[in-house]
Amino acid sequence: MKKLYDIAIVGAGAAGMTAALYALRAKKSVLLLEKLTPGGQILKTHKIDNFPATPGLSGAEFAQRLRSQVEGFSGQFSYANVVKITTDDSASAPLFRLETDDPDVSPVARSVILAPGSAERKLDLPEESRFIGHGVSYCATCDGAFFRDKSVAVYGAGNTALYSVLYLANFVKKVYLVNHSSRYKADKSLVEKARSLDNVEFLENTEITALAGAPSLKEITLKTVDSAKTSSLPVSGLFVSIGRIPDNAFLKGFVDLDSQGYIESSESCQTSRPGIFCAGDCRKKLVNQLTTAVADGAVAATQAVAFLNSQS
C-alpha cells in the first residue's frame, strides 16, 4: 500500500505552505503537491508592502523563507499536478487518493487541504496566444526587464496592475495604464503614486480589442467605451492584469463550487465534503491577499487537525 499521510495539501503557495507549517507543528504527517514552484502567485511580486512587519520583502524571499520553515519541520514536497481526488469509504474512516499527472505519484491521505490557487485571466483575443512570450506577458516582474527603454502597456485596475506600472516605470521609456473604466480596485496610494510619474500615462474608459505585429507585438488596438472610437497604440509589450481564475476544474463534482468556479466553504474553511478543507485564492471569499491566504492556511490546518483527532 502507498504511504498514508495524515494531510495532503494540493498547492504549495502561501496558503498551502502555511497550512503545512501548522499541521506539522501539530505532529501530523504532511505531503505538499505542487505542479510548479513552491510560492505560487507571490513569486511574481517584486516587493511586498502590505504584509505586516515585512516592508520591502520580495515575493521570492517570502516564499523561500516560508518553504525553509516547512522543510525545517520535515515537510515533504512532491512535484506533480493533481488531476483527480477519489474517496474510499469502505475503511472505518474515509481515505482520499490523489491522482496526478505522474503515474508514480498518487498519495493517500486521511484529510486534504485544497490550495491550488488561481491562474491568470486572459484577454481572450484571437491573437493573444501567438504573442505570449513575444510581447504579451502576465507578470511584469518576470518579464519586464526584456522591455528596457521601450514603451509598454499594462491592462488592469487592481493592485497587481498598479504594482506592475510602478515596477516597469523604473526602466521602460513609457508605461500606458489601460483601464476599461475610470474606477480602480487598487489602493488609492498606488494610483496616486503612478499618476505622479512622468513616464506613466493613464488611458481610462478604454478597452483593448486587437493585437498586431510580426514576429513580436508592435501595437495594440484601443476602443473607447463611450464612443467606440478606435485607435492604434505602438508598444513593444503588453502586461495583462485583469484578475485570475480559480484552478479548480479538477474538483467539479467532488466539492461544491460556485458559478465562477470558486470552492464554497465555511469560515472554518470546511468544504461540502467532510475531511476536505480549502485555503487561499481557490475559495469563495471577499478579499484575496497574502494576509488572507496565510490566515486561511492556518484555519484550514487547524480544522483538519481537529477532524483527524476526532477520527482517532
**Residues involved in catalysis:** 139, 142-143
* Residue whose cell numbers read 494531510: 7
Grid cell at residue 11: 498547492
Distance of alpha carbon 164 from alpha carbon 156, whole angstroms: 10
Q: Tell me how long the chain is.
A: 312
Distance of alpha carbon 84 from alpha carbon 99, whole angstroms: 5
Grid cell at residue 259: 458559478
Q: Are strands 136-137 and 237-240 parallel, antiparallel or unpaired?
A: parallel
Q: Dihedral (C-alpha) 56, 60, 65, 67: value to the nearest 10 degrees?
A: 150
Residue type, 309: N
- Burial (Cβ within 10 Å: 0-12, 13-18, ≥19) of residue 185: middle
Q: What is the CA radius of gyration of the chain?
A: 21
Q: Are strands 237-240 and 174-178 parallel, antiparallel or unpaired?
A: unpaired
DSSP string, 232-298: EEE-SEEEE-S-EEES-GGGBTTB-B-TTSPBP--TT-B-SSTTEEE-GGGB--S--SHHHHHHHHH
